[in-house]
Structure 1
Amino acid sequence: MRSLRDDRPEGTVLDAVVRFLRDTGMTTVFGNPGSTELRMLRDWPGDFTYVLGLQEATVVAMAAGHALGTRSAALVSLHSAGGVGHALGAVFNAHRDRVPLVVVAGQQSRSLLRLRPFLGADEPAQFPRPYVKFSRQPERAADVPAVLAEAHRIAMTHPRGPAFVSVPEDDWDQPADPVAPRTLHAGFTAGPEALAALAGRLTGCARPALVIGPGVDDEDALPEAVALAERTRAAVWMSPLSGRSGFPESHPLFQGFLPPVAGPLADRLAPYDVVVALGAPVFTYHVADDGPPLHPGTALFHLDCDPAQAAWLPTGTSIVTTLKPALTLLAALTRQADRPPPPPRTVPPAVSADGAKITPELLLDLLRERLPGDRVLVEEAPSHRDELHARVPVDLAGGFLTTGSGALGWGLPLAVGRALADRRRVVCVLGDGSALYSVQALWTAARHRAPVTYVILDNGGYAAVRALGRRIGITPVPGTDIGGVDFAALAASLGCPGAEVRHPAELPAALDRALAAGDEDGPYLLHVRVTPTEDALYTEPRGR
């Protein structure tokens, strides 16, 4: 382990960076090493953990899962231009999901940059934009520790997100002074006048609703959101395609997830005269139609810490604020409502194991019966997501994670990082198409004995794309069939045990085995062949 001598006035860039990482708790490093990172890895500290991912997008997603689990920034080490390019889809997800990451990429030696060398990155600070909050290659080697410290502070400032630093490989051995970490209090509250005006509208309205977005979970504001909902007796909806949980879904005020289509979304919110969106972009659409954002008679108020998001919303009144203090004040300013609560949402009836094939509905019903309440659920099964939300309620704060941007390959490695954050078993529900984007992360899960149970719903291809095709009258859609992949054997080749199940009668026992693994038992994969759905995407789940 490198010795850091406190009695010398100046050490190397590597000395200063190691000290800063230790001081800020970023001692678990997620990376895929290359030649331009070798000097960064010299004399690797014994109290640091290097988590190797076999492809850079999986590295970023694992780091994101760890950051979400620890509620602090995670360090990512990428390899030069090619590695950053591989990782950008996951960086895009981290940006949209407000995950605090400090991404350090290697760069060729400064002495070679004018010659456009092999592995050199042209304009490295521009490469990951606009999906990072901060991006720099320091002008001098001596500036690297200070720039890294600035990146960390920016990543952890609301709205949180990834920050990027490019470091030429010969910088690590140059002299530099250490940088002390600074305390950062990033919360801010809107003026009391704005919140008092909103409290007046909530007190005087007839039919209020709250729309919960990923910002509620990001800011640990679930208790405050529940308190406001109960005080106002508001109907509670989750924002479309939210990447996080933010409200207990078994709560009697919870109504479901808003659809990512303009017309149906406006129809869901039409019964309410005042809608308050909390940390939610609200108008996240996936397919186009001619519907308005909201119908006349529905007034929207939007609370979020991101002024850019407030600026692009097409309608409503935005209040720029962090949520936790604002919701506490808003609840105190709002009179306890005596209006009747909204009727509880309709849930689909349980299905029986009839026939010779496993339906997604049957699998999800059995999963709901067996899923412990303290388990984090990670999802990346786009064609079954509506059914999952309808049949598997999540009540735990931070208990649901998925991609908020739609870039696939996020869920499988995200679950690895989340499990490593506190060594508590995570359950990850994946489609077969999604799993193949990042299946190599199973190797990392096995190597670190990450407690993750993977359940793969294999419908033979990109069923969500086929469903979207049906929605707009395009059938068949070429390039959407996969099939023929033995996921249990593939997992075993990467060190992850697993099993396959094909018949409904086998499914309960197979799920029991998959979910019974202890937090010390490492990963397990259950490959379930399910019947493909023939519905168009974003229709009501069957059985309602």
Structure 2
Amino acid sequence: MADGMTVRQATMDLLRDCGMTTVFGNPGSTELGFLDRWPNDVRYVLGLQEASVVAMADGYARASGRAALCNLHSAAGVGHALGNVFTAYRNQAPLVITAGQQARSLMPFNPFLGATDAASFPKPYVKWSCEPARAEDVPAALAHAFHIAMQRPHGPTFVSIPSDDWGVPTHPLPPRRVSQDMAPDPALLADCAQALAAARNPVLVIGPEVDAEGAGEAAVALAEALRAPVWASPFSARLSFPEDHALFAGHLAAAPPAVSKALATHDLVLVLGAPVFTFHVAGNCALFAAGTPLFQITPDGEALAAAGTGTGIQGSLRLALPALAALLPATDRAPPPPRARPAPPAASRPMTAEYLFHALSRLLPAEAIVVEEAPSHRPAMQQHLPIRRWGGFYTMTSGGLGYSLPASVGIALAHPGRRICAIIGDGSMMYSIQALWTAAQHALPITTIVLNNSGYGAMRSFSRVLGTEGVPGIDLPGLDFVALAQGMGCAGLRVEDPALLADALAAALRHEGPMVVDVAVDAAIPTLYHKA
């Protein structure tokens, strides 16, 4: 044994070696041994509820490209966090999640705060989990979890750590380097290039993995070499393609008939960094039976296995896209015409979401990062608030609410000084509103815009699509977001008059710390999907 080296000391050295020196947590009694004599060179970010803590760590990890450590409290705390653990899994966020466990000496007696079969609790939505058999194995288990989290596709891992393990003697861990990328099959890339060269009218569907891998510029170069239109994949949780680019065709809806209609005129479909395809409503995807050649490139073997059609090529997009472009001959294919842009929306009272997004697009700083969780207003945002820069947009892939507000905190911490614009629905805001406290404590430049239509707009839309009536629990009257923000140390204001909107947004975007702008928007039922 190393003289004086404890599990806690070996773990802190591991965190430094792995670059996990920002830790997100909400502590309890079973974590005190880990938190004892906290070092000055490791930042601890406190969240006030475990689901918020996981989302903060997720946002930080996705924005930085490095795994983040998230420390939760025992079984009940893991239970609180599970919704956003599921989201982190769907987001492919590299997290190492730890949770305290009762002392090993108490475990035979089913103690208070003890977790039965703790390693199984977050499954199947972690890539790997364990509770080490011996205390001295904790640092090695955390190293294992880190390297699994950082293998593509990224994702969360979980380690349960008994509370009396931290002071046990152990060995220091040697530094390690582990490859994270897989090269694609050259023969399959050659087949894809040959099919693309022969196609008369190919189309690209691009998903969030392109931005996550830093392969955005390679994707743009490939599209330009092909002179092919580009659609964003359904529910893409990051920027898929610069939305002001002449080749950008729009966002695919998560409905089978809509996907088929958008892609039907093309004689080859190339899907990059996305599933084939993510759907939200039932219906027939005629594309699958049409015999249209489809190629899919992704590091995600599960997405390839689930595609059900086409040729799947597993590998890093960072490696695959330049290799594919190098195999393509020059083309004389005419580029598609640019898509039509909507006219500026008119002012009204209450305001439309379209009017709000159009105003915001004119005021948002070029380097700002947009984080969105306003599902019923997403089509309006996609029409009137184009995202132009890689790394400039985040949302969640899971559909679970309560992610984007705390994720904004993590993203702001990963990009000090960058303006973060969190666009949140009034229903979503109430899931993790305590994240405002953490934003205020760190004086983060987060402008939170609440689209307040006094209810769950997405549920209103789905009620119409599904033909249901009289559904309870959709309306949300009486919420005062300005008062809630002020109670947690954030500035806030409410806007109802469209004539005051631009000044309010400009002030919030200049504000040095966090600020909430509660905007009253039209409660008219939005159209998310048309009936099949």
TM range (shorter): over 0.9
1:504 to 489, 495, 498: 498
CA contact (8 A) 1:415 1:452 kept: yes
Whole-angstrom CA distance in 1 between matches of 2:271 and 2:175: 35
Whole-angstrom CA distance in 2 between matches of 1:280 and 1:291: 17
Whole-angstrom CA distance in 2 between matches of 1:60 and 1:535: 31
Matches within 5 A, 1:92-491: 92-294=86-288, 296-353=290-347, 355-423=348-416, 424-491=418-485
CA offsets 1:441-485 (integer angstroms, 9 cap, x no match):
000000011111000000001110110110111123211000211
Whole-angstrom CA distance in 2 between matches of 1:405 and 1:421: 22
CA offsets 1:400-458 (integer angstroms, 9 cap, x no match):
10011101000100001100112111101010000100000000000011111000000
Indicate the residue corresponding to 1:538 in structure 2: 529
1:524 to 506, 515, 518: 515
CA contact (8 A) 2:493 2:517 kept: yes
Structure 1: any 5+ residue segments left out of the alignment?
Answer: 1-6
CA contact (8 A) 2:100 2:163 kept: yes
Classify the secondary structure of the residue corresponding to 1:374. coil
1:372 CA displacement = 1.8
With normalisation by structure 1, the TM-score equals 0.96
CA contact (8 A) 1:81 1:107 kept: yes
Amino acid at match of 1:397: W
1:55 aligns with 2:46: no
* Higher mean C-alpha displacement, 494-503 vs 297-306: 297-306
1:218 CA displacement = 1.4
* Higher mean C-alpha displacement, 184-193 vs 122-131: 184-193
Amino acid at match of 2:478: G
1:336 CA displacement = 2.1
CA contact (8 A) 1:98 1:218 kept: no
Q: Quickly say closer, same or farther: Cα 1:263–1:363, change in 2 above 3 A.
A: same
CA contact (8 A) 2:208 2:236 kept: yes
1:539 CA displacement = 4.9
1:535 CA displacement = 3.4
Amino acid at match of 2:447: T
CA contact (8 A) 1:75 1:104 kept: yes
Classify the secondary structure of the residue corresponding to 1:319. strand
Classify the secondary structure of the residue corresponding to 1:351. coil
Amino acid at match of 1:467: S
1:36 to 4, 27, 30: 30
Q: Percent identity?
A: 50
CA contact (8 A) 2:346 2:355 kept: yes
1:69 aligns with 2:60: no
Whole-angstrom CA distance in 1 between matches of 2:403 and 2:495: 25
1:293 CA displacement = 4.8
Amino acid at match of 1:525: V
CA offsets 1:97-141 (integer angstroms, 9 cap, x no match):
111000010000011111111111011111101110010000000
1:347 CA displacement = 2.0
User: 4+ residue stretches of structure 1 with deviation over 6 A?
Assistant: none
CA offsets 1:331-379 (integer angstroms, 9 cap, x no match):
00011221111121122211121x4321111101001111122111000
Indicate the residue corresponding to 1:3 in structure 2: none
Whole-angstrom CA distance in 2 between matches of 1:337 and 1:435: 49
CA contact (8 A) 1:10 1:178 kept: no
With normalisation by structure 2, the TM-score equals 0.98
Amino acid at match of 2:441: R
1:12 to 6, 9, 24: 6
CA contact (8 A) 1:269 1:294 kept: no
CA contact (8 A) 1:266 1:295 kept: no
Whole-angstrom CA distance in 1 between matches of 2:236 and 2:286: 21
Whole-angstrom CA distance in 1 between matches of 2:269 and 2:3: 58
CA contact (8 A) 2:440 2:490 kept: yes
Whole-angstrom CA distance in 2 between matches of 1:293 and 1:497: 50
